[in-house]
A = this chain, B = another copy of it.
Amino acid sequence: MDRPLVIGVMGGGNVDPATMENAYELGRLVAGQDWCLLNGGRDSGVMEASAKGACENGGMTIGILPDDTSQAASPYIRIPICTGMGMARNCINVLSSDVVVACPGGAGTLSEIALALKAGKPVITMGFKLNELPGIGSGTSEIFYAGTPQEVIKTIKKIVQKGNK
C-alpha cells in the first residue's frame, strides 16, 4: 500500500488569532495534498485549528491524546489515539510524523521540536525562527524556516524529494 505522508503539526494550545488562521490554512493545504495531518488531538489552539482546516477539506486527521479517553479530543480529529501517557505522547507525535511543523507555542512545543531533532526528523518552523538553541547542529536532522503555510508545503516537498522522509 502506498501510505500517505504524515505531517505532524505542533503548536500552542493558547495562541493568537493569526497563528490560528495559519494553522487552519496549513491543515487545509495538507488535506489538499492528500497527506495525513497528525497532532496532539486536543480541542484548543493549533491542534484544533489545524485539524479543522484538514477535516473541513476532506483530509484525514489523527490526534495523539495525552488522555486515556477521547473526551477532550477536537471534534475535527477523525481517529483519536488515546495514550493515557500525558506529555510522553509528545514523543509519539514526532516519531509518527514524516515531517514536523512547529507553529508558535510554549514549552510543550519546544519539547516536540527538541524530540524531533533528537529523533532525526526534519522540522519546519512556521512564522518564527529558532536561534542559538543548544543541540541545534548537533543532531542528524535539519530545521527549516517557512513564513507561510504555502511555504511549508513547498518545503515539505523539497524535503521529501531529497529523500529525507
Contact = CB atoms under 8 A, between A and B. Distances in A.
Interface of A: 1, 3-4, 6, 36, 55, 60, 62, 64, 68-70, 75-88, 90-92, 95-96, 104-111, 113-115, 117-119, 128, 130-136, 138-139
Contact of A86 (B79, B91, B133): B91
A92 B81 contact: yes
A6 B80 CA distance: 9
Contacts of A83: 88, 91-92, 95-96
Given A82-B95, A87-B118, A106-B139, 15 more contacts: A3-B80, A60-B79, A62-B79, A68-B86, A69-B95, A80-B96, A81-B81, A84-B85, A85-B86, A105-B135, A106-B118, A107-B117, A107-B139, A111-B118, A114-B114
